[in-house]
Amino acid sequence: MQILYFIMIIVLLLILSLVLPLVLQRRAIISVLKIFRQKNALDAENAVTREELGIRPRTFMERMVKMRDYRPDALQFLINTKIVKENEDSKLYFSEEQLVSLYENSSSKILKFLLPARK
């Protein structure tokens, strides 16, 4: 019976180690998109710099004492998927159309989990 409990705990920890980073990444993606909406950076004319977004990689000392900040990774993910676009001045803006298109046309369940659904 103790072996069964041990196996169940190991399986639970394994599942948790796979799911928790996805949940935290989704939360960071939603947070980054919220920042773009608050700054009204929804088109090329209103694009903002990375500094204006307030999203920057943490220093070594900050990483030592604070929890991980998933927002820089979330921003890079959004840039790679073209949901956040970069203009010629290296300013960033959020493309709602690309988000909806990617969400509707993707067959990846993980991608659909990470991206917030927009109707």
Tokens matching residue 42: 């929804």
Q: With respect to residue 43, please indicate whether it lies within any of the assigned structural domains.
A: yes
Total number of domains in the chain: 1
Kindly state whether residue 7 falls inside one of the protein's structural domains. yes
* pLDDT (average), residues 10-28: 94
For 88, the domain range is 2-114
pTM strictly above 0.95: no
Q: Name the token pair of 119.
A: 């109707």
Contact 53, 35 (CB under 8 A): yes
- What pLDDT shows up at residue 29? 95
Q: Is residue 119 part of a domain?
A: no
The predicted-structure confidence for 26-72, as pLDDT tens digits, reads as follows 999 999 999 999 999 999 899 999 889 988 888 888 888 988 889 99
Q: How far apart are CA 70 and CA 59, in angstroms?
A: 14
Q: Are 22 and 114 in contact (CB under 8 A)?
A: yes
Q: Is residue 20 part of a domain?
A: yes
Question: What proportion of the chain, given as a percentage, has pLDDT over 70?
Answer: 98
Assign residue 97 the CATH number of its domain: 1.10.10
